[in-house]
Structure 1
Amino acid sequence: MRRYSELKTVHDRRGSLLRLPAGDPEAVWLENQRVAHRGGRLAPWQIRLMKAVGIDFTDRRDAAWRNTYDTLKTFHAEHGHWAVPDDLTTVDGVKVASWLRSQRSTRRKGSLSSEHEKLLDDIGFPWDPAQERWDTRCAELARFRTAHGHLNVRGPGELYAWLYQQRKKFRQGKLPPAAQQRLARIDPHWHDAEHHRE
């Protein structure tokens, strides 16, 4: 019970038991409990106690994947885009931006599990980095429209250049219908620069 109490303190302080230094007594004890669980040698009351403090008996890599996924999902819900900053790190120490690149690479190689791919698809994760950049600019344009009541974005700047290109593609008939619809939800007259002049 002493080791359990120490582990509970670590969990309460860090919010996670993943990435404990391998030589720590708590990490060694925890791994022994996982081995005992896999071997069916833990009593139900022991399992309940451990689960109550966040000890997850699933594969640690899968638990880290889920934590990173949850961090990404929360970030997207709060910010409306997928351009996570390079310094966004999970409680387990995983850099989310690197993890995103890894998910794309793993999928391209055909080795991303169907379960993980479906979870990412379900939250609208863009597999194409160009789509990610487009989504980021679209979210930025929506925030601009909300803040200013129009789409008269002044240049120079990335948002100005991006909107100019979307309007140009629209006039040339090269803007996909899905993109047109998303922009029209921001402002039905998004494509008419003259309409937004002050």
Structure 2
Amino acid sequence: MAYTSYQKKKEFDEKWRGVEVLDGEVKEEMDRLTRGSMGMNEKRMQLLDAEGFVWDPLEAQWFERLQELKDYKMTHGDTLVPKVYPANPSLGLWVGNQRTTYTIYQKKKEFDEKWSGVEVLDDEVKEEMDRLTRRLNGMNEKRVQLLEAEGFVWDVPAHIWESRFQELRAFVALNGHAAIYRRKRGPYDLLATWASTQRRNYIKRQNGQLLDSVGFAWGKYKNTRVRRTLC
């Protein structure tokens, strides 16, 4: 707490340096930060740094998990840590959390870009900004770059689909066709299972388009002017 207040006090002093007349609100904030710093100064910071003092435990924990991710990659060749990973349950949960917070981080960037330059924001926009900021959980551009440097996969389903598609291309190049079907204990079981899923999804999509063509009601029909037929 003292370190955080001291850093904010330094930034605050820098911002208002040279301003001869300060309003009451600024003076009160300066006094508050001074009290919060509890005597922290550069000399004390240097003494604590010399002992390897950890100023931000959450930041330190994040980098500890990043190192564990690097170790996992060295062993498995990728960063696809399962959500349930008995060898290191905390790492599996952490990896999933990075993907969640990354999605929120991207939404926050889009939101900020959309409203940048708007001087007066209504309460609803402000509340959404605050909500996204609270849910970021420390995600920032530096962390994104550090994870991507390790080949971190943000969208696992899309990654798996692309990987299977590349396997299919290799299969076609080797066999001259894409008629791959599952066989018991076959060498292409995983690829064949994926191919079967694509066929099912294709049929569903075709059926869906046919139903759409007649105005099929997929959910609850809200147009009360149209009489519903109950069977």
Answer 1 or 2: higher relative contact order, Cα 8 Å, separation at least 6: 1
TM-score under structure 1 length normalisation = 0.46
Rg (Cα) greater in structure: 2
TM-score under structure 2 length normalisation = 0.40
